[in-house]
Amino acid sequence: METKNELIMILTEEFGKDAILTRKDIINCLDSKGMLEPVNSAGAMTRFLGQSGFEKVGYGKYQLPNSSSKKTTKVAKTKKTVVTKTVKTDNEPKESVVNLMANTETQNLIPSHFEGFVSWGHCPTIKKVIQSKMFYPVFITGLSGNGKTLMVEELHAQLKRELIRVNITIETDEDDLLGGFRLINGETKFVPGPVIQAMERGCTLLLDECDLGSNKLLALQPVLEGKGVFLKKINKWVTPKPGFNVIATANTKGQGSDDGRFVGTNVLNEAFLERFAVTIEQPYPSSSVEKKIILGSMTKYGNMDEKFAENLTVWAEVIRKTFYDGGVDEIISTRRLDHIVKAFSIFKDKMKSIELCVSRFDDDTKDSFMDLYTKIDAGEDVQGISDSDEDLDDPEDETVNEDGGAVNY
């Protein structure tokens, strides 16, 4: 409380009583005074504004509280009442929290079906877990663009099970997950986070890109044990309803990215990872399955071309084999193949569609990928990709380079 009062005094001295400020005004002022630390995140700033009596007077504008103001006293008293009465009684402040939860109960959180979805890999395993409605946390790992998240969403759509998806980042904290106080219509109210909403509804919580998170994810330890969680900010114990479960997706196994491919991924706490019952490594689809996926996308986008689908399947397979053997640094994902098919439906030009969708790679990689597709389209017997054209052009060479350059196909 002393820190909040000190910050308000600094702002009052700088701007005057009852001044109307933006968040940027507050940040610039406190930063110049060396006092930015208490509000150096979006969540901390929101709590400061809500708990210090600021009144929202317009879009992104807040009026400084006046300690002698009757209105400020009322706000402070309201906040205190929320914390106290939520625990002891069923009167108004508790209802303000419950009503926010009730608003989500009217929503349909069953994902929409993905047209043309094809089951592959560990789909049957994950489907059985969802069907069981048991609490059985699952950690799904695999390279980017191989359909981990899509698979989870589609299986919930098929089974008509609700799903709440949370995208994890390094900034994700306890407030983002469990909930926190927010300023709503001039009043400070506790807004339950997605974890609490999933627990209250008895549905699945999807922690997407989990390995981008920090140790703040440890706030979920009791949740990952299937137990309740104590919301210390409102003195409330929340117990999960039957059907609640947690699924996490990640590009790594929670050990970071040694090759630097997935910048921003972190080494997750071993105690956190240990609470997931199983870890499933989702591969890219086989060639036969991937062709079905591509044909499904073509049907969806209205540009059916079976030869193009076959060529794309072979092209992606050769590149992946070369990637796994260390011959190239980039890979063609199933998601990128879908991008190419969609581009083809727009531009009606195969080579242009491929070029646009591989232009994010460096020039050498892009040129080698384009050259490979040209050879496949011409019906040449390709074996893989290497740094020299000789490896591609010599059909007698069926060996793998020492550096993994050429790969038999």
Terminal C-alpha separation, the chain: 68
Residue 78 lies in a domain: no
Asked if residue 359 lies in contact with residue 353, where contact means CB atoms within 8 angstroms, the answer is no
Q: Is the pLDDT confidence value at 5 over 70?
A: yes
pLDDT at 350: 97
Residue 115 lies in a domain: no
**Domains contained in the chain, number:** 3
One domain for residues 294 and 277: no
One domain for residues 162 and 256: yes
In Å, how far are 143, 148, 158, 253, 381 from 284, measured between CA atoms?
8, 10, 21, 16, 23
CA pair distance 379, 397, nearest whole angstrom:
18
Which residues lie below 8 Å from residue 120, measured CB to CB, with a gap of 6+?
147, 285, 286, 289
Burial 6-37 (b: 16+ CB within 10 A, else e): ebbebbbebeeeeeebebebbeebbeeeeebe
Beta-strand relationship, 61-63 and 55-58: antiparallel
Percent with pLDDT over 70 in the chain: 81
Q: Is the pLDDT confidence value at 238 over 50?
A: yes
Q: Which two tokens stand for residue 183?
A: 């300023």
Helical packing angle, 363-377 and 350-358, nearest 10° = 150
pLDDT at 399: 36
Asked if residue 163 lies in contact with residue 108, where contact means CB atoms within 8 angstroms, the answer is no
Average pLDDT over residues 371-375: 97
Average pLDDT over residues 128-148: 96
One domain for residues 275 and 341: no
One domain for residues 259 and 301: no
- Longest Cα–Cα distance of the chain, Å, equals 89
One domain for residues 276 and 127: yes
Residue 163: which CATH number?
3.40.50.300
One domain for residues 127 and 227: yes
Helix (H, G, I), strand (E, B) or coil at 328: coil
Closest residue by Cα to residue 369 from 324, 331, 321: 331
Higher pLDDT, 45 or 336: 336
One domain for residues 318 and 230: no
Range with lowest mean pLDDT among 255-259, 291-295, 369-373: 255-259
Range with lowest mean pLDDT among 169-178, 260-269, 291-300, 350-359: 260-269
pLDDT at 32: 83
Higher pLDDT, 56 or 316: 316
Which of the four pLDDT bands, split at 50, 70 and 90, describes residue 71? very low
Residue 90 lies in a domain: no
pLDDT at 259: 66
Burial 357-367 (b: 16+ CB within 10 A, else e): bbeebeeebbe
One domain for residues 274 and 328: no
Q: Which of 236, 257, 281 is the last residue of a domain?
A: 281
How many residues in total does the chain contain?
A: 409
pLDDT digits (tens, 9 = 90+) for 79-115: 333 333 333 334 434 445 544 454 555 688 999 999 8
One domain for residues 140 and 254: yes
Average pLDDT over residues 228-243: 95
pLDDT at 59: 59
One domain for residues 194 and 296: no
pLDDT at 2: 61
One domain for residues 274 and 151: yes
Q: Which long-range contacts (CB under 8 A, 24 or more apart) does 319-323 make?
A: 319/369, 319/372, 319/385, 320/284, 321/384, 321/407, 321/409, 322/384, 322/385, 322/386, 322/404, 322/405, 322/406, 322/407
CA pair distance 369, 352, nearest whole angstrom:
13
Which of the four pLDDT bands, split at 50, 70 and 90, describes residue 362? very high
Beta-strand relationship, 138-141 and 245-250: parallel
Burial grade of 234 (CB within 10 A; 0-12, 13-18, 19 or more): buried
Query: Which residue has 């050879």 as its token pair?
Result: 375
Q: Is the pLDDT confidence value at 155 over 90?
A: yes
In the structure, how many helices (H) and strands (E) does the chain have?
17, 12
pLDDT at 346: 97
In Å, how far are 237, 245, 393 from 161, measured between CA atoms?
25, 11, 52
Q: Is the pLDDT confidence value at 172 over 80?
A: yes
CA pair distance 38, 395, nearest whole angstrom:
66
Higher pLDDT, 159 or 24: 159
Asked if residue 380 lies in contact with residue 371, where contact means CB atoms within 8 angstroms, the answer is no
Query: Which residue has 């972190």 as its token pair?
Result: 266
Which of the four pLDDT bands, split at 50, 70 and 90, describes residue 394? very low
Higher pLDDT, 406 or 42: 42
Closest residue by Cα to residue 111 from 63, 155, 77, 52: 155
pLDDT at 369: 97
DSSP 170: T
Which of the four pLDDT bands, split at 50, 70 and 90, describes residue 408? very low
Q: Is the pLDDT confidence value at 163 over 80?
A: yes
Average pLDDT over residues 115-139: 95
Helix (H, G, I), strand (E, B) or coil at 401: coil
One domain for residues 145 and 261: yes
> What mean pLDDT, rounded, does the chain reach?
83
Asked if residue 10 lies in contact with residue 57, where contact means CB atoms within 8 angstroms, the answer is no
**Amino acid occupying residue 128:** K
Give the domain extent around 47. Answer: 2-68
Closest residue by Cα to residue 260 from 168, 329, 323: 329
